[in-house]
Amino acid sequence: MILDLHAHSIKSDDGRAKVQNYCQWIRAREIPVDGFVLTEHRQFDLESDYSALAEEFGLCILKGSEVETEYGHVLVFGVTKALTEEFDFSDIHLPLARVIEACAKHNAVPVPCHPGRRRVGMTAHIEEYGIPEGVRIVEIYNGGSRGDEDAIAQTMATEQSYLGIGGSDAHIVSHIGRCATRFPAPIASEGELVEALQGDQFEAITYRED
Amino acid sequence: MEDWPDIDELRERFLNHVFDEQTFSISADSCAGFAVACGELAPCFTDPEHPDFQAPPTFPSTFRTHHHRPPDFPQILGLGMDAGKAVHSYKPIRPEQELTTKTHLHDVYQKTGRSGRMIFVVSRMEVFDAHGELLAAADARQVVRERPTS
């Protein structure tokens, strides 16, 4: 099972892709992913139901979030309504420790994303704030990375013994599936994704050729 | 870092209050000219003689306000730029009909990115016909980002 764990739709202020168009693109271009997770910026989309699209295209479409902390941006998988009430998802100054603590309380999984990215990646803030406690997984392949940003992320992951995931960080249709994560077993729900991420049997993959 | 205003306070004070209102009409020539300039080919947008002639859906993005922001809206220090426009089209806009636009701040929010912290200000112009029916809403988004430190 291969899932792109990091994608944005028009629900995000800078997203330009409709979910249906992601599905059409994956099928038309035979992108080798079985689904994707919508990680909208600074919010959790409680309203949208993509089950009909998922069925029509034979894809797994899940929902998560991307929040902003003093260590940069963090993907959150397994978001529930109760978790959204633990902290303000729109706050760009969230303490990472608080996000990690709330995720632990509500059985969600936090994953610092594009950690090699300037200003909004975890490595940029370690010198100032130190190694954060409670981080277990980071995104080591990000489809929007430039230059050596992924290499910086991978070096940090190796040094800190973090597990790695991949996600496209797609904001436009043609970027979906550029990076992804391979799981050994099928995943059909946010709960199953959380369970898989709480294990260690997954592997970050990239289809980028540059 | 710039001394930036409190976003929650801005939202509390300024969102959803109309700060600009205008009444006017548009000409068939201006609609057709805009459509042609956009590369539109459908006669209902390019031919004023067409029985269903109407302004192209994005035409409200050309409507101007007298004020970009509420008069007492604080200056946000930083590098400002246009961050895009969007039009929600609900009903056709016909030439020569009386139109009234009412503009309010729809959203103020902040985010972080490669270039640092940014504040986005979204003003929404709603376009009504003479009966008060909502025809379209045009969002204009401006971003102010903090100045680079080096």
Per-residue tens of pLDDT for chain A, all 210 residues: 999 999 999 999 999 999 999 999 999 999 999 999 999 999 999 999 999 999 999 999 999 999 999 999 999 999 999 999 999 999 999 999 999 999 999 999 999 999 999 889 999 999 999 999 999 999 999 999 999 999 999 999 999 999 999 999 999 999 999 999 999 999 999 999 999 999 999 999 999 987
The answer to whether B58 faces chain A, any CB pair under 8 Å, is: no
The domains of chain A, with CATH numbers, are 2-206 (3.20.20.140)
Q: Is residue B53 part of a domain?
A: no
pLDDT at position A110 is 98
Element (H or E) spanning B36, and its range?
Answer: helix B28-37
Q: Is residue B50 part of a domain?
A: no
Q: Is residue B41 part of a domain?
A: no
Nearest-by-CA chain B residue for A114: B114
Output the domain CATH number for residue B110: 3.10.129.10
pLDDT at position B150 is 56
pLDDT (average), residues B63-69: 90
Evaluated on CA atoms A204, A67, A162, A141, the torsion sign reads positive
Both structure tokens of B30: 């201006």
pLDDT band with cut points at 50, 70 and 90 for residue B2: low
Q: Is residue B48 part of a domain?
A: no
Contact check, Cβ <8 Å, B111/A42: yes
Q: Is residue B46 part of a domain?
A: no
Percent of chain B at pLDDT exceeding 70: 97
Q: Is residue B39 part of a domain?
A: no
3-state secondary structure chain A: CEEEEEECCCCCCCCCCCHHHHHHHHHHCCCCCCEEEEEEECCCCCCCCCHHHHHHHCCEEEEEEEEEECCEEEEEECCCHHHHCCCCCCCCCECHHHHHHHHHHCCCEEEECCCCCCCCCCHHHHHHHCCCCCCCEEEEEECCCCCCHHHHHHHHHHHHCCEEEEECCECCHHHCCCEEEECCCCCCCHHHHHHHHHCCCCEEEECCCC
pLDDT at position B116 is 87
Residue B148 has pLDDT above 80, yes or no: no
User: How many folded domains does chain B comprise?
Assistant: 1
Q: Is residue B15 part of a domain?
A: yes
pLDDT at position B149 is 66
pLDDT (average), residues B61-73: 91
Percent of chain A at pLDDT exceeding 70: 100
Element (H or E) spanning B35, and its range?
Answer: helix B28-37
Contact check, Cβ <8 Å, A92/B120: no
The greatest distance separating any two alpha carbons of chain A, rounded to the nearest whole angstrom, comes to: 48
Between A and B, how many residue pairs show a Cβ–Cβ distance under 8 A?
25
Chain B residue numbers with beta carbons less than 8 Å from the beta carbon of A73 are: 112
pLDDT at position A210 is 74
**Whole domain around residue B87: which residue ranges?**
7-26+67-145
Nearest-CA distance B39 → chain A (Å)? 21
In angstroms, the CA A138 to CA A111 distance is 5
**Residue A120: which of B109, B114, B120 has the nearest Cβ?**
B114
The answer to whether A52 faces chain B, any CB pair under 8 Å, is: no
Place of tokens 């496209």: A168
**Interface mutation target, options A10, A65, A68, chain B, most CBs of B under 10 Å:** A68
pLDDT band with cut points at 50, 70 and 90 for residue B4: confident
Q: Is residue B71 part of a domain?
A: yes
